[in-house]
Amino acid sequence: MNFVCSGNICRSPMAEVILRGLAEEAGLASSLRIISTGTGDWHVGEQADHRTIASLARHGYDGSAHRAQKFQPEHYDEFDLLVALDRSHERVLRAGAPTPEDADKVALLLSFDPAQAHLRDVPDPYYADDAVFDAVFVMIRKACEQLFRQIQPAIRAGASR
């Protein structure tokens, strides 16, 4: 699974760390490949934004190992699910998809959470303060919990084979 936002330093690293934590708690981390990338290359190689790392830490997660990377065309082949954090990322991913099947791999993160699906976009907290980063964390956590509930049965079935 590849979570995709703009620069891969705020929203998508949060989603990556949170979903990895959920998979670890369920004992399924080794059965699921989770990364995050950005549509742009502005921050490649950098850590997540310090406010992202701080928000994750306030909620019991360690995001300090993250290094930003750019989405690559081969990710369409490498991943079954490409999770966009907002509609602009969704458009970029669908437009770049080499096949209709690859375009079908793209989904908005909030679409997995019925309570938040109507919002469609996780707001970009980059130009905001810690409170907004924490609000974005809560949105992402809720959506990741719903996403994990949906994929967990298939992961368990695959892990038992």
Which residues are designated catalytic? 5, 11, 124
Strand partners of residue 82: 2, 106
Residue 155 contacts by C-beta under 8 Å, 6 or more apart in sequence? Answer: 23, 28, 31, 32
User: Do 6 and 92 meet the contact criterion of CB atoms below 8 Å apart?
Assistant: no
CA 118 from centre of chain: 18
Query: What phi and psi, each to the nearest 5 degrees, are found at residue 3?
Result: -90, 135
Sign of CA pseudo-dihedral 87, 47, 62, 65: positive
